[in-house]
Structure 1
Amino acid sequence: MSESAQPKAVSYARILVAVDDEEYLPVCRRAELLATQFDADVMLIHVMEPFSPVVAPGVMGGASIIPDTEAENYDEALKLARRRLVDIAAAMTIEKVETKVVEDGDIARAVHSEAEAHGSDLIVVGSHGRHGLALLFSGSTAVDLLKQSPCDVLAVTL
């Protein structure tokens, strides 16, 4: 193997972990192991689609037609997501953990943006390993994250 083909030593100082509503535990455990190994900081993020009230264009002033209860439900979901991330961080055995809920409709864009802002050199995300038609019909956040990622991406098999 030539010198230029020699693999570089890997070290991660800032790890961003994308936490979803499903199977986050294996993803967090892997990030925790890596953070311990590299003495890295961890940022746990959860991406939520932002609340956008429907506006009726024919109504005077474009009044919102979404009842206040839906806005209250969204606010409650946001608080719950923040609380959940704090609980996950508290259960980790590492000390340097931050949490953030990001409101964005595009998960990959939000994760990339946060990775850049956080100065992350690794993104850890869960993947069900779907392929073929299953991937076509369900999509894959892990695949989207690999595209144009500002840093390495580790897809933990769920």
Structure 2
Amino acid sequence: MYERILIPTDGSKVAKAAVDQAVDIAEKYDAEVHALYVADTDAISYSLGTEQVDRIRQGNFEGMTELREEAKAATGYVAEQAAEHGLESVEHHAGGQPHRLISSYAEDHGIDLVVMGSHGRSGVRRALLGSVTERTLRSTHVPVLVVDYQGTDE
């Protein structure tokens, strides 16, 4: 049923909660796990120059040590969890609008299931903060499992 499972991650507690669920499902189906880190260029474009934003959109984080390390740590955590369960994994880093890149990656790589976390915010808080998870749900035809994180905000 599931051959390839995508876990979009930013390394947060919310994302890590989704990793547990995704790895559990992947283990049951002996599925390949894909970890995707997306640097949100809309959020960082104000503090960087156009050239750096273009490089990030191409997935090139060279010269941006903190961003590169954050991306490696986030996808590395997913890969470690997959390896502990004897699963193959793929790590990918990209830059752009997260929901669009998640949807594109899922469709381009034959992903059968996307597993991602959510804070479970509602009402005004969700409208003001926006929701990558909600936007992903609206922009892909691939099934999405949303893991509701019940903890403190980061």
Fold equivalence (TM over 0.5): yes
Separation (CA, whole Å) in 1 of partners of 2:106 and 2:143: 10
Question: Aligned residue for 2:136?
Answer: 145
Q: Which 5+ residue runs of structure 1 have no aligned equivalent? A: 1-10, 56-63, 65-71
Structure in which a larger fraction of residues adopt helix: 2
TM-score by length of 1: 0.74
Question: Aligned residue for 1:94?
Answer: 86
TM-score by length of 2: 0.76
Query: Which runs of structure 1 show a deviation greater than 4 angstroms over 4 or more consecutive aligned residues?
Result: 50-53
Tell me the number of residue pairs that the alignment of Structure 1 and Structure 2 aligns: 132
> How many Å apart are 1:87 and its aligned residue?
4.1
Q: Which 5+ residue runs of structure 2 have no aligned equivalent? A: 52-60, 150-154
Whether the 8 Å CA contact 1:32–1:94 is kept in 2: the answer is: no
Whether the 8 Å CA contact 1:126–1:157 is kept in 2: the answer is: yes
Higher relative contact order, structure no. (Cα contacts within 8 Å, ≥ 6 residues apart): 2
| Equivalent position to 2:49, from 42, 47, 54 | 54
C-alpha root-mean-square deviation of aligned residues, in Å? Answer: 2.3
Which structure has the larger Rg?
Answer: 1
> How many Å apart are 1:102 and its aligned residue?
1.0
Q: What per-residue deviation string (whole Å, max 9, x for no partner) do you get for residues 18-76 of structure 1?
A: 10232122111111000011111110011003476536xxxxxxxx8xxxxxxx99621
Letter in 1 for 2:122: H
SS in 1 for 2:92: strand
